[in-house]
Amino acid sequence: MSFSLKKLKNFHGRPGPLLLIIMDGIGIGKQDESDGVYMAKTPVLDQLFKSGLYATLQAHGTAVGMPSDDDMGNSEVGHNALGAGRVFAQGAALVNQAIAAGAIFTTPTWSQLVGRVAASDKIFHLIGLLSDGNVHAHVDHLFAILRRLAQDGVRRARVHVLLDGRDVYEKSALIYIEQTEKLLRQLNEEYGVDYRIASGGGRMVTTMDRYNADWSIVKRGWDAHVLGEGRMFSSAQEAVTTYYNEDPSITDQYLDSFVIAENGVPVGTIQDGDSVVFYNFRGDRAMELSRAFEEKDFKEFDRVRVPEVLYAGMMEYDGDQHVPKYYLVNPPQIERPVSVYLCGSGVTSFAISETQKFGHVTYFWNGNNSGYIDEQLEKYDEVPSDKVRFDTTPQMKAREITDLTIQYLRSGKYQFGRINFPNGDMVGHTGVPKAIITAVETVDTCVGKLIEVVKELSGIVVITADHGNADEMYTVKKGKKIVSTAHSLNPVPFVIIDKCFKNEYNIVESPKRGLSNVAATLLNLLGYEKPDDYDPSLIAFNR
């Protein structure tokens, strides 16, 4: 099959490069005090949002493959949609389908996981994010698995709970713990089994690191889940309540790790012969613990003891590296992302971000595939992220990303570039208004610098976002302000800045404009027709 694109007859692109800027987590909010984008001083964005080549796009729900429009988007599905040019069923939707059809429980992997513990005194362990945020995991998936384990005769199960406060309200852990404990009691009584919570901790300090940013987070999880080392409590509820009392300002995502114990003995360490499932469906924050369980030559930290277990993920978290080896639900098969067509047509390109979002402009953009599509035509460059809380450094590496991008643009080697500024999302997740506003202002300044360079080179800049976050710093419930650290359901901006523009095209009016329409638009702006099965372009040519 040829991946060479047909050229447009009436438009051949511009002399200079096309630059796509993804302002991660910067959506279009209510334009009030809750909206960090509105509250920030953003002279560049203010002007762009009033331009003629401006629109808003849906970046959540069904527009990015989630089950319903009540589901927030995230950076992974957002970049999948941006790079794929089409909408694929994603994460939660795939798991929902597999559970509803019972397919998740009929695979050889499930049979092996259950079989090795059902007829013994060994334990089936479940590790994952305990919330209904539906970004990394959902408690309903955990509950469905627990019910099936009891039905399948598994006598002992332990849950290792990672507390959210990021994709849901910042201090909601006790709600989900209470729901989980209620189900465990019901199963214990009905089936005569021994199911308990064994350990846990806040997601930003326990287990759920990503992109190799801070392996000490994973080590804390390993110590608690596997070794049973850490501060001990009689219950998860006691642990959370104690941490709240000791530091009233702390939020769930930053709660320290803990171990549930009786008489000083942990109730559920991971041992030889056990089965382990990481029930997160999203891969970025599940990869590192998966490596710790599976890699023989593991050097990131001292594991002390490596139990012989059968380990599986909810999904395959990396299709190229095949991590983990076993998984319960097949990932979406995203074939022919836009980079395949660009390489097939000889278009040179680059991708840049800092560590926190580098995988998004490479792996996720390329349809969940690692590595280059064509190393002769592409160049990926990662700026290392600082290992700090991002409310303390809201500028992050935006300036470094900007400087590096300018080097690539001025080199004259590349026809297309894509970059991601993580600030709006990563700082937005902290819930600290002053830091969020600084983050947005930093991005605004950097975007302005890049626009001037691309104008100088007679190129085009396209600006959008993968989802909202900084645009919703808090919500109001029953007259009370509640800090919002989760992604928003707000639309995101889409802007074209074209110095050479002479009314050759215009933004198409459509009630259903989403991230998946961006790929065809980029191809059009480079002078190419879109593939037949790609979603429509956001522009239409006037002649």
Residue 282 pairs with which residues in a beta bridge? none
pLDDT at site 477: 80
56: left (phi over 0), alpha (psi -120 to 50) or beta: beta
- For the chain, the distance separating the N- and C-terminal CA atoms, rounded to the nearest angstrom, is 31
Q: Which residues of 14-44 are buried (b: 16+ CB within 10 A; e: fewer)?
A: bebbbbbbbbbbbbbbeeeebbbbbbbebeb
pLDDT at site 320: 58
Residue pair 59/456 in contact (Cβ under 8 Å)? The answer is no
pLDDT at site 210: 87
pLDDT at site 1: 66
Contacts of 286 (CB under 8 A, 6+ apart): 136, 208, 278, 280, 313, 314, 317
Q: Please report, for residues 290, 300, 317, 363, the alpha-carbon distance to residue 296 in angstroms, rounded to integers and kept in the order given.
A: 12, 12, 18, 24
pLDDT at site 283: 86
> How far is the C-alpha of 431 from the C-alpha of 474, rounded, in Å?
8
Q: Please report, for residues 49, 254, 437, 526, 531, the alpha-carbon distance to residue 504 in angstroms, rounded to integers and kept in the order given.
A: 20, 51, 37, 13, 21
In the numeric block, which tokens belong to residue 440? 């947005």
| Strand ranges inside 318-409, DSSP E | 326-329, 349-354, 378-383
Question: Which residues are tagged catalytic?
Answer: 75
> How far is the C-alpha of 397 from the C-alpha of 443, rounded, in Å?
10
Domains of the chain: 18-89+333-541 (3.40.720.10), 92-329 (3.40.1450.10)
Q: Considering only CA atoms, which of 523, 429, 517, 533 is closest in space to residue 74?
A: 429
Contacts of 147 (CB under 8 A, 6+ apart): 183, 187
Supply the Cα-derived Rg of the chain in whole angstroms. 24
pLDDT at site 318: 76
Residue pair 306/163 in contact (Cβ under 8 Å)? The answer is no
Q: Which residues of 52-88 are buried (b: 16+ CB within 10 A; e: fewer)?
A: ebebebbbbbbbbbbbeeebbbbbbbbbbbbbbbbbb
């509950």: which residue's tokens? 143
> How far is the C-alpha of 256 from the C-alpha of 219, rounded, in Å?
12
Task: State the 10-residue block means of pLDDT for the chain, 543 residues long.
Answer: 90 97 98 98 97 97 90 92 95 91 96 94 97 95 98 97 96 98 98 98 96 93 98 98 98 98 97 98 93 97 98 86 91 90 98 96 93 97 94 98 98 98 96 97 98 98 98 89 91 98 94 95 98 97 86
Contacts of 291 (CB under 8 A, 6+ apart): 298, 300, 323
Sign of CA dihedral 343, 366, 351, 497: positive
**One-character DSSP codes across 202-269:** ETTTSS---TTS-HHHHHHHHIIIII--S-EESSHHHHHHHHHHH-TT--GGGPPPEEEEETTEES--
In the numeric block, which tokens belong to residue 111? 């049979």
Q: Please report, for residues 106, 252, 276, 395, 511, the alpha-carbon distance to residue 95 in angstroms, rounded to integers and kept in the order given.
A: 14, 25, 18, 36, 29
